[in-house]
Amino acid sequence: MTNANILIVDDDTALLQALPQALFLRMQNINVDTSDSAAGALQLIRAREYDAIVSDIKMPGMDGLALLVKIRELRQNTPTLLITGHGDHNLAIQALRGGAYDFIPKPIDRDYFVAALRRAIQMHQLQRQVLEQQRALEEYAKSLELKIMDRTNELIKANTAKDEFISMASHELKTPLSSLKGMTQLLHRRLVRAGSSEVVNLVSMENSIRRIEVLVNDLLSISYIETGTLTLNCRRCNMGDLCQSLVDEFQAGVNPSPIMHVDIADDNIEANVDIERISQVVLNLFANARKYSPARSPIHLSLKRLDDHYVISVRDEGVGIPPEELPQIFERFYRVPGIEVQTGSSVGFGLGLYISQQIVERHGGKIHVESMPGSGSIFSVVLPLPVVDSSACEHAKSAIDRHS
Ligand code: ADP
């Protein structure tokens, strides 16, 4: 027990001398103040905090019960023990109901008195320790909160700087890449015309340029998405024609030309889409279907109308994706560990599906995947049909939600 401050209040001056002496004999590290009236006691209580207060119940003027009420107002946590007359059970019960910690019946048994006081002091000191720990914890929590706020601000700044860098770098790379592409195309035509065998080398250069173009385009798209500047330019379009032209474009651009099965169940599907962006999505699904399947493994494209929406599905017969990985594959920069590229280049940042999902969702649609390791994957793009007002194509989600 650390140093304890005790206050004894009694109008009986003999007892006021005897009780402290009894305490000094039996307890160490204590400081005892005395007062012969409740009024005097209140002055002391206002001035300092006691570990326990002992007061006679019957005193002239303000009695012990009234003093107890005041103590509870001033020092709610200070335990107060009231000295009651012999057999005065009613007063003792009143004292306990009024919030007294304990009562000491007269004649006072010194050992009982000291034991009761010791309990009260220990309880109060423990309470104080708990309060101090609570305060320290609160301070610590506050300082942690401030630290977290600082770190969050730093991260926001770093993230903004990263977005700015990606945006600047991808824009800066785009222009020289376009002229490089134009120049190699020109050179290609000239070499073909001249019948030069150098064409072969140029083709591998063109393939490298195409791969860099894929990466730069992914970075550009991500920069538009992250900065909220991905805008859609929706136009009326026949989806069957668009799908067929994308199949043709993909087959022409890849060597050897992939085997593709096309099933356009309805060639009358007219929709409002950003043709560039939806093409980007479908070509990305074709590229993935090829990348993650053995060479010459067929890729299936189907287009179907279902009530008020239509579905473009791209199916492959490749390596497939383990079920536990499926929720992650649409996250930024996520590439399934252990899935190796089977055909073509392994180029990719793990951004294609994230970008595709963002584009489809901006059209009010959804993108789903079903996959079985070893059997292949089906990616389905579900889009609303028809969207009457082209400006509404970003808000047409409800039609899809009803079917998902
Ligand atoms: P990446 O540039 O790596 O292809 P994506 O965002 O397009 O990025 O795809 C994310 C990951 O999902 C890929 O790295 C691959 O692990 C997995 N994945 C995507 N499409 C397929 C598919 N058709 N078959 C198997 N795995 C796929």
Closest CA to 359 of 289, 281, 303: 281
Closest CA to 70 of 83, 84, 80: 80
Give the tokens for residue 146.
């401030």
CB 259 within 8 A of CB 296: yes
Question: Roughly how many angstroms between the first and final C-alpha of the chain, as a whole number?
Answer: 68
Measure the CA–CA gap between 214 and 352, rounded to whole angstroms: 10
Where does the pLDDT of residue 87 fall: very low under 50, low under 70, confident under 90, or very high at 90 and above? confident
Ligand 1 pocket, residue 376 CB under 6 Å: no
Ligand 1 pocket, residue 351 CB under 6 Å: yes
Where does the pLDDT of residue 394 fall: very low under 50, low under 70, confident under 90, or very high at 90 and above? low
Q: What is the average per-residue pLDDT within 208-214?
A: 88
Question: Is pLDDT larger for residue 285 or for residue 86?
Answer: 285
Where does the pLDDT of residue 403 fall: very low under 50, low under 70, confident under 90, or very high at 90 and above? very low
Q: What is the average per-residue pLDDT within 4-25?
A: 94
Q: Residue with the nearest Cα to atom 16 of ligand 1?
A: 336
pLDDT at position 255: 77
Sign of CA dihedral 342, 348, 354, 359: negative
Q: Measured between alpha carbons, how far is residue 257 from residues 134, 184, 192, 248, 252 in Å?
A: 71, 21, 20, 10, 7
Whether residue 390 has pLDDT greater than 80:
no
Q: What's the pTM value of the predicted model, to 2 decimals?
A: 0.65
Ligand 1 pocket, residue 124 CB under 6 Å: no
Where does the pLDDT of residue 399 fall: very low under 50, low under 70, confident under 90, or very high at 90 and above? very low
pLDDT at position 387: 54
Q: What is the average per-residue pLDDT within 180-191?
A: 93
220 CA to centre of ligand 1 in angstroms: 19
pLDDT at position 203: 86
Closest CA to 361 of 403, 314, 395, 316: 395
Ligand 1 pocket, residue 353 CB under 6 Å: yes
Tens-place pLDDT, residues 213-257: 988 999 999 999 988 889 999 999 999 999 999 999 999 888 788
pLDDT at position 214: 86
Ligand 1 pocket, residue 352 CB under 6 Å: yes
Ligand 1 pocket, residue 335 CB under 6 Å: yes
Ligand 1 pocket, residue 329 CB under 6 Å: yes
384 CA to centre of ligand 1 in angstroms: 25
Q: Which ligand 1 atom sits nearest the alpha carbon of residue 348?
A: 2
Q: Residue with the nearest Cα to atom 7 of ligand 1?
A: 352
